[in-house]
Amino acid sequence: MIWWPTQVPTLHSGLITLRELGEGDIQNIFSGCQDPVIPRFTRVPANYTLGHAEFFIREKTPRSIKEKTELAFAIDFGNGADKEFAGVISFHSMDLPDLTAEIGYWISADMRGKGVGTTAVRVLTDFGFNSMGFERIEALVDIENLASKKLLSSAGYTLEGILRKKSRRFDEVQIDMASFAIIRDEWEGL
């Protein structure tokens, strides 16, 4: 059985903090999602507006926690007053009876290449296995997203295969997705 938090916990590892999203993140989310790489490789719309960010923080995230459909976190990088917003990470597309979840994330352009994403994925994966009780955590990645495939491999995930024509981009192109996963037994051995 999955343990579901009533509020988003704060998780730490070195310079990375995963924390509850709030009003103060709206502008950072809006600004981060102006990077064309994010809508290219995620479900974030290409024409992302401030209204999208406000809806995500004020309506979608609280409803998702209550309905147990997504558990989203802000990613911060740094210590104390020097912490900077670095992106968003979440568990979503969960199958709670089967003890599985999908992990998804986006990292702000200025935070890429610093190990922020890999550490955030490791922190949330550990929380998913050791606190929530998942047995399997998956990630689907556009096959052209080389950085994300490398990130997941570095975090201990295994490429299980290619799902042909799995997803449709906002530009209406049907794309193949790389399917990555890690199971509890593998995680405990890392």
Give the CATH number of the domain where residue 74 resides. 3.40.630.30
Tell me whether residue 66 is in a domain: yes
Tell me whether residue 36 is in a domain: yes
Tell me whether residue 175 is in a domain: no
Q: Confidence class of residue 169 from pLDDT cuts 50, 70 and 90?
A: confident
Query: Is it the case that residue 80 has pLDDT exceeding 90?
Result: no
- Those residues whose C-beta lies under 8 Å from the C-beta of residue 144, and which sit 6 or more positions away, are 41, 175
Distance between CA atoms of residues 36 and 156, nearest Å: 27
How many other C-beta atoms lie within 10 A of the C-beta of residue 80?
5
Q: Confidence class of residue 1 from pLDDT cuts 50, 70 and 90?
A: confident
Distance between CA atoms of residues 113 and 93, nearest Å: 27
Q: How far is CA 136 from CA 30, 91, 143, in A?
A: 31, 12, 21
Would you say 74 and 85 are in contact if contact means Cβ atoms under 8 Å apart? Answer: yes
Taking alpha carbons only, the member of 115, 120, 116 closest to residue 104 is 120
State which residues form the domain around 78. 11-136
What is the number of residues in the chain? Answer: 190
Domain count, the chain: 1
Tell me whether residue 23 is in a domain: yes
Distance between CA atoms of residues 174 and 184, nearest Å: 32
Tell me whether residue 181 is in a domain: no
Would you say 147 and 19 are in contact if contact means Cβ atoms under 8 Å apart? Answer: no
pLDDT at 188: 87
pLDDT in tens, 33-64: 999 999 999 989 989 999 999 999 999 999 99
pLDDT at 14: 93
Tell me whether residue 174 is in a domain: no
